[in-house]
């Protein structure tokens, strides 16, 4: 299927690895021009070079920390300068704040809010006027299942994820008349470095003797009985940003192999 977005310009925050990198790759394969960012300059440049070589097309990268308002301004300005416009924003940069209530700290929670609430909102605030003016825009927020189904081990992420679901729905309603579509995806466990950074904690939470056992136990909660691959997430994200998704707004798509058992 031709997704109808060749020539569009996309900003993918946090595209130096994981889901963001694979999303950037899929965009490039569709002829979309892409700007990615991350905090680790070397890793970012490695990814930019690898994407340019394997997928080709127009790929740029800028070191930026989405916890810092000034960095987001620089990032959006750089994408605008490079492409003359931004048609697509994928709010992806972020981490998982896991651990039960007793382990939560104000500092940790503030960081979670800075990346996943303020980081996402600030990027939207800067790109929306351009999308509104051209009466075409796509925004996809990377959220997570704990926003829909609270999990004590995912308490910190759950708080921001619920807020992001509200933000997605609210803005989809407000921006609809401008043909700016706002959607979300809710990943379950996806095989990225995020999982590996959380493996020990999850093993302790699940009473598993090893990270491999934790992985098996976590995967068993999914109907598909396995973790997701970043490229599987990317396929759905890019579709939501495409011309073919022109009548979809305000949805939060579970990309979790059937983990959540509720009706939404
Ligand atoms: N993987 C999962 O199981 C899972 C589950 C639920 C939700 N999610 C969500 O999906 C998104 C992507 O996750 P992932 O698994 O692909 O994670 P990942 O492999 O850790 O990659 C995260 C990317 O974001 C960048 N990043 C993180 N914080 C940043 C910041 N403050 N400013 C700029 N860039 C930043 C990282 O680069 P630097 O570190 O160099 O900055 C990296 O490129 C996240 O929002 C995450 O919360 C993932």
* pLDDT tens string 60-97: 999 999 999 999 999 999 999 999 999 999 999 999 99
Categorize the per-residue pLDDT at 53 as very low, low, confident or very high, splitting at 50, 70 and 90.
Answer: very high
**Looking at the structure, do residues 121 and 235 belong to the same domain, yes or no?**
yes
User: For 173-189, how does the pLDDT look when each residue is reduced to its tens digit (9 = 90+)?
Assistant: 999 999 999 999 999 99
Q: Note whether residue 134 is domain-resident.
A: yes
How much is the pLDDT for 81? 98
C-alpha R_g of the chain: 18
Which SS3 state, helix, strand or coil, does residue 142 take?
strand
- What is the arrangement of strands in the sheet containing 59-63, beginning at the earlier edge strand? 59-63, 33-38, 9-12, 88-91, 137-142, 180-187, 252-255
**Looking at the structure, do residues 87 and 163 belong to the same domain, yes or no?**
yes
Tokens encoding 31:
């002829």
Q: Note whether residue 262 is domain-resident.
A: no
The beta strand positions in 54-204, using DSSP E, are 59-63, 88-91, 137-142, 180-187
How much is the pLDDT for 214? 95
Non-local CB neighbours of 160 within 8 Å, separated by 6+ positions? 97, 112, 113, 116, 117, 147
How much is the pLDDT for 160? 98
Q: Which atom of ligand 1 is nearest to the CA of 115?
A: 31
Q: How far is the CA of 191 from the centre of ligand 1 (A)?
A: 12
Burial zone of 117 (CB within 10 Å; 0-12 exposed, 13-18 middle, 19+ buried): middle
Average pLDDT over the chain reads: 97
How much is the pLDDT for 264? 82
**Domain count within the chain:** 2
**Looking at the structure, do residues 99 and 218 belong to the same domain, yes or no?**
no
Q: Note whether residue 18 is domain-resident.
A: yes
Residue nearest to atom 32 of ligand 1 (CA): 65
Categorize the per-residue pLDDT at 5 as very low, low, confident or very high, splitting at 50, 70 and 90.
Answer: very high
Please report, rounded to a whole number, the percentage of residues in the chain having pLDDT higher than 90: 98
Long-range CB contacts (within 8 A, 24+) of 236-239 = 236/185, 237/19, 237/23, 237/26, 237/90, 237/140, 237/142, 237/185, 238/3, 238/23, 238/26, 238/27, 238/30, 239/3
**Looking at the structure, do residues 150 and 203 belong to the same domain, yes or no?**
no
**Looking at the structure, do residues 233 and 183 belong to the same domain, yes or no?**
yes
Which SS3 state, helix, strand or coil, does residue 47 take?
helix
**Looking at the structure, do residues 108 and 176 belong to the same domain, yes or no?**
yes
User: For 139-158, how does the pLDDT look when each residue is reduced to its tens digit (9 = 90+)?
Assistant: 999 999 999 999 999 999 99
User: For 99-116, how does the pLDDT look when each residue is reduced to its tens digit (9 = 90+)?
Assistant: 999 999 999 999 999 999
**Looking at the structure, do residues 223 and 120 belong to the same domain, yes or no?**
no
Q: How far is the CA of 133 from the centre of ligand 1 (A)?
A: 30
Mutate to test the pocket of ligand 1, among 11, 15, 18, 184 (most ligand atoms within 8 A of CB): 18
Query: What CATH number should be reported for the domain holding residue 33?
Result: 3.40.50.720
Mutate to test the pocket of ligand 1, among 12, 13, 19 (most ligand atoms within 8 A of CB): 19
189 CB near ligand 1 (under 6 Å): yes
**Looking at the structure, do residues 223 and 239 belong to the same domain, yes or no?**
no
Q: Note whether residue 257 is domain-resident.
A: no
Q: Note whether residue 28 is domain-resident.
A: yes
Distance CA 8, CA 90 (A): 13
CB 59 within 8 A of CB 51: yes
In Å, how far are 126, 144, 192 from 183, measured between CA atoms?
Answer: 17, 13, 22
Residue nearest to atom 42 of ligand 1 (CA): 14
**Looking at the structure, do residues 111 and 216 belong to the same domain, yes or no?**
no
Q: What pTM did the predictor assign? A: 0.98
Q: Note whether residue 53 is domain-resident.
A: yes
Q: What residues make up the domain containing 214? A: 194-227
User: For 195-224, how does the pLDDT look when each residue is reduced to its tens digit (9 = 90+)?
Assistant: 989 999 999 999 999 999 999 999 999 999
**Looking at the structure, do residues 79 and 166 belong to the same domain, yes or no?**
yes
**Looking at the structure, do residues 148 and 74 belong to the same domain, yes or no?**
yes
**Looking at the structure, do residues 146 and 182 belong to the same domain, yes or no?**
yes
- Mean pLDDT, residues 242-251 taken together: 98
156 CB near ligand 1 (under 6 Å): no
Q: Note whether residue 3 is domain-resident.
A: no
Tokens encoding 72:
């987001």
- Mean pLDDT, residues 22-40 taken together: 98
Q: Note whether residue 130 is domain-resident.
A: yes
Residue nearest to atom 28 of ligand 1 (CA): 94
Burial zone of 130 (CB within 10 Å; 0-12 exposed, 13-18 middle, 19+ buried): buried
């Amino acid at each position: 299927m031709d997704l109808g977005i060749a020539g569009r310009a996309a900003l993918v925050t946090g595209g130096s690895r994981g889901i963001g990198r694979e999303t950037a790759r899929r965009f490039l394969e569709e002829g979309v021009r892409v700007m990615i960012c991350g905090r680790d300059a070397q890793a970012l440049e490695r990814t930019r070079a690898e994407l340019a070589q394997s997928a080709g097309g127009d790929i740029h990268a800028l070191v930026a920390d989405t916890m810092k308002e000034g960095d987001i301004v620089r990032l959006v300005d750089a994408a605008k300068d490079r492409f003359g416009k931004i048609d697509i924003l994928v709010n992806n940069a972020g981490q998982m704040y896991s651990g039960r209530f007793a382990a939560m700290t104000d500092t940790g929670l503030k960081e979670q809010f800075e990346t996943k609430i303020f980081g996402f909102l600030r990027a939207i605030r800067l790109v929306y006027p351009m999308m509104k003016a051209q009466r075409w825009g796509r925004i996809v927020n990377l959220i997570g299942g704990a926003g829909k189904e609270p999990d004590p081990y995912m308490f910190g992420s759950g708080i921001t994820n619920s807020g992001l679901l509200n933000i997605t729905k609210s803005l989809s309603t407000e921006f609809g008349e401008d043909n700016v579509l706002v959607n979300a995806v809710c990943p379950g466990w996806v095989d990225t470095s995020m999982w590996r950074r959380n493996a020990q904690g999850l093993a302790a939470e699940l009473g598993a003797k090893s990270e491999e056992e934790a992985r098996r136990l976590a995967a068993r909660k999914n109907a598909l009985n396995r973790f997701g691959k970043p490229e599987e997430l990317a396929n759905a994200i890019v579709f939501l940003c495409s011309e073919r998704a022109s009548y979809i707004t305000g949805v939060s798509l579970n990309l979790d192999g059937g983990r959540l058992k509720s009706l939404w």
